[in-house]
Amino acid sequence: MAPEDLDRKLTAILSADVAGYSRLMGDDDAATVRTLTGYREIMTALIKEHRGRVVDSPGDNLLAEFSSVLNAVNCAVEIQRELRERNAELPETRRLEYRIGVNLGDVIEEGERIYGDGVNIAARLESLAEPGGICISGSVYSQVKSRLNLEYENLGEKSVKNIKEPVSVYRVSLEPESAAEVTAEKKAIPRINGKVLPDGRKEFALPDGPSIAVLPFINMSGDPEHEYFSDALTDTIIAGLAVVRGLFIIARNSTFSYKGKSVKVQDVARELGVQYVVEGSVQKTKDRVRITVQLIDANTGHHVWSHTYDRELKDIFALQDEITMKIMMGIGMKLVREEQYGEETLPPSGSLEVYIKTMKAREYYFRYTKEGNILARKEVEEAIALDSEYPVLYSLLAFTHLADLFYQSSESPEISFAQASKSIKKALALDDKNWIAHLVLSALYRFRKEPDKAIEAAERAIALNPNAADAYADLGYLLTVTGRAEEGIKFIEKALRLNPIPLPTYFSYLAEAYSFLRRYEDAIQVNKELLKRFPNNLFAHLGLTAIYSLLGREEDSHHHAEEVLRLDPAFSLDEYAETVLIKDETQRERFLVNLRKAGLK
């Protein structure tokens, strides 16, 4: 191919690598890879946020390109500031400090890859940067010197490997935005932020009173088909502890984020902010089960209690209660009768087959997939055919009907709502103290745009389960849209403390509450945090579209509107408007007007 036949373009290139990477790998390769993975996710999210794309990321290297030099330099600065804050929480010997080079140059484009001197110069600039620093070329400097609030140091012309002409090099100073300013910005999300850990998670202070996390029990059966059993046993123990007043227990979503990972109990306790951790294993055969359980005080690392149970499978009902009671005794608490998670939540028929089907249904549902939802409903319906008086089944059935809406597998919203309503009425008729049923009832009222009734149902769920993180989050959102955003934030923060590794809705709710209070910078910060964790979250992009439009930042607003359409090409603002639950019509119209201004129709 002749040189003139090659596809060429002028682009801004960002090249980054870790200083001293080989030494870090030699010292502790597993810890280094964990930190590297977390940092790479942060960098990728920031690159995307600044409208760049990652071209390649082998090992500790990362190569990205931007159509705008300003975006490239701003992104480099934000990456270094973010990673500097993360590194501050690590011992000096474990810190991953990136060097970044930015160049504006001509490149050869071949598919998704780019080549040429433009890329090579960026790599050489990176090698000239200090750990945690940024070097830019003269071509970049000429474009940004008077357009960004940064300071630069001219390092002169440098001869670099494989480049014929010397390269003008400038060092970017990160100091104009002081550490105090960075810290103040991070505190825009108050009580949900603890100390930042290497992988982006937070470290929390211990709550008042006993606190505990139950890690997913390990399936030791040698058969992946038995995974449902170990997961369901974990769920049952969490549910049994959650209803106890005075006990703080971490939600399932957060503890199951550790499933399949090799972790240290002390690290888990620190990340989740609890004193005690329960871990265990399950070995199930045809008619027997062996369960090993350990209760560990993470403050000391000592085993408070450990036991292995070897029982017939038919004894699983009593065994679950016995394990829950032993845990409670181990942390010095007692269950009172009205809090007992026992016989009333087990199949009235005492059928092991019904219970097994319920366990399978839960495992399928928590896969959070369309296929899993279908399988969950099948198991529930088969279980109901065997025992029509088991209230848990009807709550699960209602969840699957609502989930059809999210997986776009519903015949129609009206049919799904009607089926969910029918199931919840049955669940509450059988057991009006079923907190999950009240949570689903709250969701139904919300979809019907009856927020006052939805609030009442969410409050009832919390009264029955003081550790119901999802109920706190939903209540916080409902209070926000009914004009009580200050109060709503407190409940959302409570949800985030109970569920520190949450579903994306928690962040959406918090961002919306800040927006209602006109705390727009705080709302932007929360939505950015959401996009770091869930880069393709449509609601974060919708929120940023509206906020940036309201602030007059049209370019940013249009960018996020484009992301909305990328994620959902069939997005209709009219259809979306029908789902917006904001009691104050002025607030509601203001939100929609700003989405329209950004080009959404």
| pLDDT tens per residue across span 436-471 | 999 999 999 998 889 999 999 999 999 999 999 999
The C-alpha angle 312, 316, 321, rounded to 5 degrees, equals 135
Angle at the Cα of 136 (from 134 to 141), degrees rounded to 5?
Answer: 130
So what's the pLDDT on residue 291?
A: 93
Give the pLDDT band (50/70/90) at residue 85: confident
Neighbouring residues of 267: CB distance < 8 A, sequence distance ≥ 6: none
Q: What is the mean pLDDT of the chain?
A: 85
Q: Do 48 and 179 belong together in one domain? A: yes
CB 377 within 8 A of CB 400: yes
What confidence tier does 599 reach under pLDDT thresholds 50, 70, 90? confident
Q: Is residue 102 part of a domain?
A: yes
Q: In this structure, are 241 and 162 located in the same domain?
A: no
Mean pLDDT on 71-75: 92
Domain end residue (candidates: 186, 216, 242): 186
Q: In this structure, are 220 and 93 located in the same domain?
A: no
Amino acid identity for residue 415 in this structure: I
Q: Which of 574, 579, 539, 578 is nearest to 560 (CA)?
A: 539
- Average pLDDT value for residue range 157-164: 83
pLDDT band at residue 176, thresholds of 50, 70 and 90? very low
| Domain encompassing residue 208 | 200-346
The Cα–Cα gap between 217 and 152 comes to 54
Go through the chain and tell me how many residues it has.
601
Q: Are residues 170 and 248 in the same domain?
A: no
How many CB atoms are located within 10 Å of the residue 350 CB? 12
pLDDT band of residue 2 (cuts 50, 70, 90) is: very low
Same domain, 204 and 267: yes
Q: Which pLDDT belongs to residue 338?
A: 45
Residue 202 has a pLDDT of 52
200 has pLDDT over 70: no
- So what's the pLDDT on residue 187? 33
Q: Decide if 447 is inside a domain.
A: no
Looking at residues 253-272, what average pLDDT do you find?
88
What is the separation of C-alpha 583 from the centre of its chain, rounded to a whole number of angstroms? 28
Q: Is the same domain home to 45 and 103? A: yes
Residue spans of alpha helices (H) in 264-307: 265-272
Mutual angle of helices 554-567 and 538-550, in 10-degree steps: 160
Determine the pLDDT at residue 63.
Answer: 95
Calpha distance 145→387 (Å, rounded): 73
Residue 319 in any domain: the answer is yes
d(CA 128, CA 160): 9
- What is the rounded average pLDDT of the residues 408-418? 85
Give the residue-averaged pLDDT of 283-296. 90
Out of 99-103, 310-314, 337-341, pick the least confident: 337-341
Sign of the alpha-carbon torsion through 192, 197, 199, 204? negative
> Residue 547 has what pLDDT?
92
Q: What is the CATH number of the domain that holds 16?
A: 3.30.70.1230
Model confidence, pTM? 0.68
> What average pLDDT does this structure show over 333-340?
52
Can you give the pLDDT at residue 49? Answer: 83
Are 215 and 160 members of one domain? no
- pLDDT over 80 at 224, yes or no: no
Instruction: Give yes or no: residues 108 and 227 share one domain.
Output: no
Contact, 187 vs 193, CB < 8 A? yes
Whether residue 169 is found in the same domain as residue 216: no
pLDDT of residue 11: 92
Residue 398: exposure state from Cβ atoms within 10 A (0-12, 13-18, ≥19): buried
Among the candidates 291, 311, 346, a domain finishes at 346
594 pLDDT more than 60: yes
Whether residue 216 is found in the same domain as residue 101: no
DSSP assignment of 284-302 equals E-SSEEEEEEEEEETTTTE
Let me know if residue 423 belongs to a domain.
no
- Each residue of 134-159: pLDDT tens digit? 999 999 998 888 777 788 889 988 88
